[in-house]
Amino acid sequence: MSYDLMRRRQPVVPIVSYRNLEHAIAWLTLTFKFRERLRQYDEHGRVVWAEVRVGEGDIMLCRIDDEGSTTVPGTSHLVVYIDEVQTHYEDAVYAAFWHRSDLRETPEGLLEYDGTDPEGNRWTFCEPVAPIDPRIWGAVLADESPERPDPATCSREEWEAYETARQVLEPPVRVTSTPAGSQHSLTP
């Protein structure tokens, strides 16, 4: 399959930034078993861009330069769904990945662990192990938005139930203070 065709299969691709991209590539492929796909070099022979593959997805990696970069290292948090998270965890332990949590089951039905890479980016690796209805752990499915009753014909209890459900899905918006020069800011 061509490179362009492979890229079209993944509509959203995360980009993680590193100051030492060569070290990051080596660390990610050793510790997380990512597969390196490509590298791009600058005129000094330094890697400035790379792509790694995990499962059927890609993660783009870029070098942070010291001149004019607006990217801050260690500010990403990626959640990666994989098969065999137990084996992945054991491989990470074997590769001396010390800045990690223990493997755990979550109320959301996932087996997961997370940790921080050498430049401070947070990674969570997880595998679904049990089908769990999101409502059990307090989530509301967006496509289950309540139907609006007719206020002229519904009971007070029906209207209050609708308002309660709607507020869970649509938190109120409030005006807050803003930086100088702004008129207002909307925040949930």
Which domains, and CATH codes, for the chain? 9-135 (3.10.180.10), 140-179 (no CATH)
Statement: residue 7 has pLDDT above 60: no
At residue 182, the pLDDT reads 46
**Are 54 and 16 within 8 A, CB to CB?**
no
- Region 100-110: mean pLDDT is 89
The pLDDT of residue 184:
45
Please, which pLDDT band fits residue 168 given cuts at 50, 70 and 90? Answer: low
Mean pLDDT for 93-104 is: 88
Q: State the chain's mean pLDDT as an integer.
A: 79
pLDDT at 185: 44
Is the predicted pLDDT of residue 31 greater than 70, yes or no? yes
The reply to whether the predicted model has a pTM over 0.75 is: no
